[in-house]
Amino acid sequence: MSNELQSKVAIVTGGTSGIGRDTAILFAKEGAKVVLAGRRNLEGQESLALIRAAGGDGIFVQMDVAKTSDVEALVQKTVETYGRVDIAFNNAGIEGTWIPIAEQPEEDFDRTIAINLKGVWLCLKYELQQMLKQGTGGAIVNMSSVAGWIGSAGAATYAATKHGVIALTKSAALETATKGIRVNAICPAVIETPMGERLFGDPDMNKFALGLHPIGRFGKPMEVAEAVLWMCSERASFMTGQSLILDGGFLAGPNAPG
């Protein structure tokens, strides 16, 4: 343990599984007090138990990032419990229904936008309000995707949200650069998570998706968590408004979709 985040207070949304869970555990191991947030209480408590088993300090807040009152309450609870907010990983997101635009129900579009894009905007709004009030800077990482860089037939709304997250990230970084607050995005390709299993668990889909990763495998949640840790640490102190791509070569070659 190098105590990269010693005495820092970190919010992690979507902390009930996958990348969010591994990042929360890693933050705790590096000395941060972690506020886990998510919609599923059972999985949230499981994540919290893992944090404490690793010797970390944290709480779980059951909430929905698409609801203004929930996001505001999350930041308030963080401040009530630990006194401040230094770091945030706005990770919560859904894949939505992957279906051609001509066939997509409007309610599915609205739900995907509400969680993946408005949810990040709401988190940024209330996290930045608190960080600006503190006046001591901060670091925020937003979850985008390789889908934030390319189109994806059948996943237009998902891709639109992830493009939007990159735009929010750049804009927020410009708004806060002189305040010591850094805002960046992380853009993974397929990672071995419950979402990845839902999308690519079918053998044919799995084979197709693997073929898009020249490295020959999918990523692991901890590989993303390690990158997020670095982005939130002082080692990344000159990085803001950027998107870090972790994709096993997905976007490098001629076979990238889009």
CATH number at residue 62: 3.40.50.720
**Domain with 164 in it:** 9-244
CB 26 within 8 A of CB 18: no
User: What's the total number of domains in the chain?
Assistant: 1
Catalytic residues, by residue number, are: 158
Q: How far apart (Å, rounded) are the C-alpha atoms in residues 18 and 156?
A: 23
Long-range contacts of 101-104 (CB under 8 A, 24+ apart): 101/156, 104/156, 104/157
Locate 117 and state its tokens.
Answer: 């894009």
Residue 12 near residue 36 (C-beta atoms within 8 A): yes
Given a contact cutoff of 8 angstroms between Cβ atoms, the answer to whether 127 and 11 are in contact is: yes
Domain membership of residue 258 (yes or no) is no
Instruction: Count Cα neighbours of 258 within 13 Å in the Cβ-side half-sphere.
Output: 16
Q: DSSP of 22-87, one letter per residue?
A: HHHHHHHHTT-EEEEEES-HHHHHHHHHHHHHTT-EEEEEE--TT-HHHHHHHHHHHHHHHS---E
- The contacts of residue 209 (CB under 8 Å, 6+ apart) are 190, 199, 200, 218
What whole-number distance in Å separates Cα of residue 234 and Cα of residue 158? Answer: 32
Instruction: Say what the pLDDT of residue 209 is.
Output: 82
Dihedral sign computed on CA atoms, order 7, 30, 46, 186: positive
From first to last of the 258 residues of the chain, give the pLDDT tens digit: 568 899 999 999 999 999 999 999 999 999 999 999 999 999 999 999 999 999 999 999 999 999 999 999 999 999 999 999 999 999 999 988 989 999 999 999 999 999 999 999 999 999 999 999 999 999 999 999 999 999 999 999 999 999 999 999 999 999 999 999 999 999 999 998 766 676 676 777 788 888 888 999 999 999 999 999 999 999 999 999 999 999 999 999 766 665
Find the length of the chain. 258
Please tell me the predicted confidence (pLDDT) of residue 6. 93
Query: Which pLDDT value is given to residue 208?
Result: 82
Residue 1 lies in a domain: no
Residue with tokens 């997020």: 228
Establish if 203 belongs to a structural domain: yes
Residue 160 falls inside a structural domain: yes
Establish if 2 belongs to a structural domain: no
| Sequence-ordered list of residues with C-beta below 8 angstroms from that of 81, at least 6 positions apart, any chain | 35, 59
Q: Does a structural domain hold residue 249?
A: no
Give domain status of residue 255, yes or no.
no
Tell me whether residue 237 is in a domain: yes
- Predicted confidence at residue 210, as pLDDT, reads 86
